[in-house]
Every structure is written in structure tokens, then in C-alpha cells.
Chains A and B, each alone.
Chain A
Amino acid sequence: MGRKLLIHNDKVPGIHTLEVYRAHGGYASVEKALKTMQPDQVTDEVKKSGLRGRGGAGFPTGMKWSFLAKPEGVPRYLVCNADESEPGTFKDRYLMEKIPHALIEGMITSSFALGAKQSYIYIRGEYFYVARILEAAIAEAYAAGWLGKNILGTDFSHDCYVQVGGGAYICGEETALLESLEGKRGNPRIKPPFPAVAGLWGCPTVVNNVETIAAVVPIVNMGGEEYAKIGIGKSTGTKLISASGHINKPGVYEIELGITVEEFIYSEEYCGGIRNGKKLKAVVAGGSSVPILPTELILKTAKGEPRLMTYESLSDGGFQAGTMLGSGGFIAMDEDTSIVKNLFTFSRFYHHESCGQCSPCREGTGWMEKILKKFLDGTANESDVDLLWDIQSKIEGKTICPLGEAAAWPVAAAIRHFKHEFIEIAQKKKFVDISHYDRLNKIRA
């Protein structure tokens, strides 16, 4: 059994209440930080822990915190990014739904480290009921004195607010999130300046993922060095993985970074193998935007080493033969899956979620979706594969925010590893089964 630090108590009855959470050692990190540590010491512990952002990019959290500008007389903010919208990712929802106080405790401890008097949890519109859970937990925390003025009798005062978004994927991009939080249209800002210098209302701001903030709690409790002992190399600690697709046991799993992908898919502790005794065909390892990998490349790297669930191992081989850990949205597909159909679903999503600010993404995502629709309808030509490749290459890296890449990478990877499927459809040797969509349309009509 791997160690669990974040969701080890998720099955305890009533863990969402402050009373039970406290009885299981909750809020110890706040006590420890506020009473025995200086803010910089907390930041140092996070640096020592080697914690990396759990939202997808994997940027070292300690470093991000130390970039925060600290001018005199200007407020600083901590913003928690709970706009978890990446298809295949649902780990933050699980954490917030089951143990809301873990996030709030992390918010208080992190805010103490950053010197933020106010913090915001920006949660996606579709998680409205989770926002209710968080608000109830915050009310409990205020009543017990964990939030508000002079927490634990110290000088530190802190207020935490929940803001519900309108349900836009783009608002998970940190600058679009800040725009939305300010009450504007959720369009990503042009960087620089980065939020660490000019973020919310022009003030220095740190934006962290839910899981990142929750991970600060065990780091402060056990010490950064101890936390860094879990994992391999620069991938330290534990990570929540939301496993979905054609596996026997879909769900949210906390893993120690460093277990093999094979173990994660086939062991009874985690996914429990591919359902109905089928063979694995491909895996999207970190949410819909990371490149898809066929079985032979996801289980073993191009060099023949076993692939591990770490930031480095998954990206081994670059995009030619690797992928990314991303947000931990692990989607496994069995041998019956049509990669083209799956790609169409992804592309439709990115088309729908593009904000429309910069031209390559606004026009390109829709174009790609329309071409992929041709494959589904059976009207595509072989030249459409090259056209798709060309369009994605002209979107990637040319946009303001990473949504362009997120839309381009799945297309590129699908063509890179499964070009034969596209060609077979274009040559009318095979057709995609779209009866599923027909059924859906009937339900909608």
C-alpha cells in the first residue's frame, strides 16, 4: 500500500465537518505554522519538499511563491484554482467534496506563508454543490476561529471567500480566472506581467491548484525534507490521479509518485486492469490536452525502461515518444476504441471552450472539429490528415494562452501514433460507429 497524505481519511463518516476533521488531526498545520514558524520558514519547507503544481504545468510551488512581489502597502492575494474542467480530471472535486477542510486548512497555512490577508477559491459553475460544501466548511472555520481576525491569538488575520464561475474551461487559465474573479469577461491576459507581480486587481497574486494547496498541509506537518523522501527525483510526494475509461475500477486514487504505469493500470489496489478482459490500446495520461500514447509507449519508454508515474518519466522521449503527467486525468482506452472518434470529442470540446480572443485558436479549433466530423461521416480524404497536421502546427505556440496547445497536442499525437486509423477511414476501409451520437441526439430532441 502506498502512503496517502491527502485523502487518507476520505472514508471516515462526517469528515466534512470541522469536529471530525479536527479529531483526525486537522488544522495541526495552521497551529504549527502560526505558533512556531515564520512565514518564510513555511515557504522554505515548501521549497524543500519539491512540491510541484498539481494543476497540470508542474511548476515548482516553492519557486512560484518566492517570485511573489512584496511591495509595501499593497495587499497580496492567494487564489485557489478550483476551476477543474479538463476532460478526464475530477480529483479536486473529490477532495473538496469529501474533505473540504483540507483545502481550507491549506489556504490558511499558505496565506500565512505568503502574507495574504484575503484568499479566494474560484470554483467552476458546474461544481455548485461543492461550493455549498465549501461555504458550509468556511462558516464552521469562522465560528471556530480558524478564519477571521487574530487567528489563534496571533497577529495573523485572514478571510477566505468562495467565488463560483460561470462554467468556462478557459477560466482555469490563471489570468482568465483573475479577470473572471474581477467580474470581467474571462479572457486570458497577455503576459508579462505575471500574476506574481500584477494579478488580482493589479496586486501580487499566487494562483495554485486545489491539490497543491491541500498538499501544503502534510508538508508543514511532516516537514519538507520528509515529504521529499516520497517519490523519485524531482517528482516528490503523492498525487491524486483520476482514473477513467475502460478500466475495472475507475475513481480517484492517491499514488506515491514513482510507481510504474503498469502497476497503476493492472494492480488491484488501483485501476484493476482493463474491463471485460480486453487489451489496452492507448492511454491519455494527464487530462485530455496531453498527447495520447499507444500501449507499447505508455508501459515502456522508447529506451525500453518501464514508464513511471512521475513528471520526468512520462515526458521521457519528448512529444515524439512521451507525454505529460498533466493534471492527472488518466484515461485508458481498450482495443475497441476509435481514436478518431475520441479525438473528435476532444476537439469539439476545445472548439466549444475557445474564448475567441486570438485568431489561431478561435478559427483553428472549429476548423479541426469540422474536418474530424468528416472522418466520422465517412467523407474525409487522405489529404485531410495532412491538413489537420498543418492546422495544429499553426495553432501550437502561436496563441496568448495554452488553450491553443491544449487543442493542438491531442490532434498531433493522435496523428503521430495512430495515423493508420485516419488513413483507413479516409480510404473507406473502415467507418466510425457514430450510433452513439444518434442516440444522444434523439435524447436531446
Chain B
Amino acid sequence: MKVTIDGIEIDVPKGTTILQAARMIGQEVAPPTMCYYSSLKTSGGYCRTCIVKVTQGSAANPNPMPKPVASCRTEVMDGMVVENVTNKDVLEARKGVVEFLLVNHPLDCPVCDQAGECSLQDLGYGHGAATTRYEFPRREFERIDIGKYVQLHMNRCIMCFRCVKVAEQLTDNRVHGVMHRGDAAEISTYIENVIENDFSGNVIDVCPVGALTDKTFRFKSRVWFTKPVDASCDCKKCSGKVRLWMKGEEVLRVTARKDQWGEAEEFICNTCRFDRKKTSDWKIEGPTKVDRHSVISQNHYNHLNELKVQILKQQKALGFMDINKRP
């Protein structure tokens, strides 16, 4: 099936969503996502940040779709034409969505563990306005400890439903969910309960903001002062492929390996995540490649050459003069 996104045509198999097709083309045209998670079924469609305009439904039915659609939940049709970054209305609408997401967000980044790897920070920086027009008190909740390892800070939650889907699809027994409705809706366990199972820690990885944090890492360090290293071990419960966040020789925290879209490649078990915090527990594979735009890359000097090539390529694309070929 042929689909055109922002003027770039790509051939994709049937059943591909617009978002997946856009990701195949590349980062430049891929809409941002907050609630979609490719490895979780039925995720996506809630946050509305990935909305795009379909200017031609399909080759058979060339009418445009009347409303912007959520690209993560809309499958492509043959001959579909989609506008994302080339459509002003889409960018304006996305700006509105970012504003809505931030309406009840405390913006406590300076004291939030997620800062530096937060999807909402990236989204706000890339698509949001500089100031807020919201002048009312934001909603507030008490912090809740759900189990030994995870803390829930509902103030920061953007209701992406990812942690609910993880509990539903990865573990045997879901004890937490969404309660109440509207802007009073909250993630919680029904009649205070603890989430205790081997894979409960994955809710931390899927949380796009700092609502669910690792209690063994809380306030230990800013993420950009730690160095990510890929490591593995023989684990009976999971694949054992993890990312260690190190400060010197110390392992401060363990997470799943995340791809360029911020999604875990493979979910890991709680033993790997919380109990194996010595370098001797792990076979180190090497330093993680971090995108140079990420704040985490500031602690990285490992692939300078690659970086140089990348920068030169971008300068060339922007029409900069090659400094080595000056007349």
C-alpha cells in the first residue's frame, strides 16, 4: 500500500498505522506520541498529540477526512495522503493538546526524577507554547507507594493508560486502574493495594512522565549525570538485556533498553531491575549510543566521529558551506 506523508511516499504492508508508516520514513515526519506504545495492544488514541490531517482518504475514495485523526490508531489505505508537519492546522492543534496536557501538570521538573528523559518535556519543548494561559490551581494528589519499588505521583500523570495496559497484558493480575472520571480521573489501586509481581517495575519504563518512579533510584542523581551502559545477564524470568545507569563504578539504576522512540525493546523482570545493582552481576556490552540532542549525551564522548559525520550531514542539508573546501 502506498501512502504519502508530508509529500514523502512510502510502501507499507496492509494493517500499518499512519504513525508506523511515518516512523518508517523517519524522525522528521513522525508525529510525537505520549500514550501509544507499539508493544502494548490497544494502546494509543487518548493523548491526541499524534493527530494528523488526512487530505485524501484513499485512492478509491479521495475525499479528505473531516476531522484530524489519531495517527497511532488509524490504518493506512492505499493512496492515502497525510499531512503532519506540513499542515499549519495540525501544528496548531498539537500546540493546543500540549497546552491541555500541561494544564494540570505541576511542572516540577527541577525535583522530578524523570527530567531529562521525560516525553512531556520533549513534547513541550518541541511543540508547546512558551507560557501557559492557565491561571487556576492545579489538581493535587497525595503520593502513594504502590509496592516496595514503585511510587505513584498522580500530580504528574497525563492519563496515558500505558501502565494499565502493562498490568493487563504483561502480568497475571491487574490491581490498578483508572478511577473517577473527567479531570478527577486518577490511576490508583482499588482500596489501597500493592502491585506485586515479577514484572511490576515495567510500569516505570512505560510511564512517559514522572508519575511512576523507581524508589531505589529516587533523588540519587539527575539522569544526565549518569552514564548509560548496555549489559546483559542470564536471567530465568526475562531476556536479561538491560541498560545500566552508572556513576563511576556504581550502578544507580537498571532499566529496559529503549529504542529511538523511547519504547522498551524488551520488558525486564523486577529481579534484574531492582536487585542486581552490582557491576559483577552483569556482562557489560558497551556504552549506549545516545542521540546527541538528548541531554543525557552531555556525559558521552564515545562516538565523536559518528557525531561529526551527523553534524556535517545536517549542515550540508541546511546549505552550509563546507569549511574544508573553501576556495
Interface residues of A (CB under 8 A from B): 168, 170, 185, 190, 351-360, 362-367, 370, 387, 390, 393-395, 397-400
Contact = CB atoms under 8 A, between A and B. Distances in A.
Given A367-B103, A370-B136, A359 B93 contact: no
A367 B70 CA distance: 23
A110 B73 CA distance: 33
B46 A359 contact: yes
Contacts of A168: 181
Nearest to B179: A185
Interface of B: 45-48, 51, 66-68, 70, 73, 93, 96-97, 99-101, 103-104, 133-134, 136, 158-159, 177-178, 180-185
A360 B185 contact: no
Contacts of A360: 48, 96-97, 100
B96 A394 contact: yes
Contacts of B104: 363
Nearest to B102: A363
Nearest to B160: A359
A387 B263 CA distance: 36
8 interchain residue pairs of minimum CB distance: A394-B96, A356-B185, A354-B182, A363-B100, A397-B67, A363-B103, A190-B45, A366-B183
A404 B21 CA distance: 28
B68 A359 contact: no
B134 to A, nearest CB: 7
A359 B128 CA distance: 15
Contact of A352 (B67, B133, B182): B182
Contacts of A400: 45-46, 70
Nearest to A364: B100
Given A397-B67, A398-B93, A400-B46, A359 B181 contact: no
A398 B97 contact: yes
Nearest to A357: B46
Given A355-B182, A356-B182, A359-B101, A398 B96 contact: yes
A356 B103 contact: no
Contact of A363 (B66, B101, B133): B101
B304 to A, nearest CB: 40
Given A358-B48, A394-B99, 17 more contacts: A190-B45, A351-B182, A354-B182, A355-B181, A356-B178, A356-B182, A358-B47, A359-B46, A359-B47, A362-B185, A363-B101, A365-B182, A367-B103, A367-B134, A390-B96, A394-B97, A394-B100
A185 to B, nearest CB: 7
Contacts of A362: 100, 159, 182-183, 185
Contact of B183 (A170, A354, A387): A354
6 contacts: A185-B177, A356-B183, A366-B103, A394-B93, A398-B51, A400-B45
B135 to A, nearest CB: 9
B70 A190 contact: yes
A185 B174 CA distance: 15
A399 B182 contact: no
A362 B157 CA distance: 13
A405 to B, nearest CB: 9
A398 B96 CA distance: 10
A383 to B, nearest CB: 9
B145 to A, nearest CB: 24
Most buried by B among A363, A364, A387, A390: A363
A352 B182 CA distance: 7
A412 to B, nearest CB: 15
A398 B46 contact: no
A363 B183 CA distance: 6
A354 B183 CA distance: 8
Contacts of A356: 159, 178, 180-185
Nearest to A170: B181
Contact of B46 (A352, A353, A358): A358
Contacts of B181: 168, 170, 353-356
B47 A366 contact: no
A357 B187 CA distance: 12
Contacts of B182: 351-356, 362, 365-366
Contacts of A363: 100-101, 103-104, 183
A399 B97 CA distance: 10
A24 to B, nearest CB: 43
Given A357-B46, A365-B182, A397 B96 contact: no
Contacts of B101: 359, 363
Contact of B100 (A352, A359, A387): A359
A399 B45 CA distance: 9
Contacts of B136: 367, 370
Contacts of A364: 100, 103
B159 A359 contact: yes
Contacts of B159: 356-357, 359, 362
Contacts of A370: 136
Most buried by A among B134, B182, B184: B182
B242 to A, nearest CB: 32
A363 B102 CA distance: 9
A354 B96 CA distance: 18
A168 B96 CA distance: 27
A389 to B, nearest CB: 12
A236 to B, nearest CB: 25
A359 B97 contact: yes
Nearest to B184: A356
Most buried by B among A355, A362, A366: A362
A352 B183 CA distance: 9
A168 to B, nearest CB: 7
A386 B68 CA distance: 23
A393 B183 CA distance: 19
B133 A351 contact: no
A223 to B, nearest CB: 35
B171 to A, nearest CB: 19
Contacts of B67: 397-398
A206 to B, nearest CB: 23
B100 A351 contact: no
Given A185-B178, A367-B103, A359 B48 contact: yes
A387 B133 contact: yes
B208 to A, nearest CB: 12
Contacts of B178: 185, 356
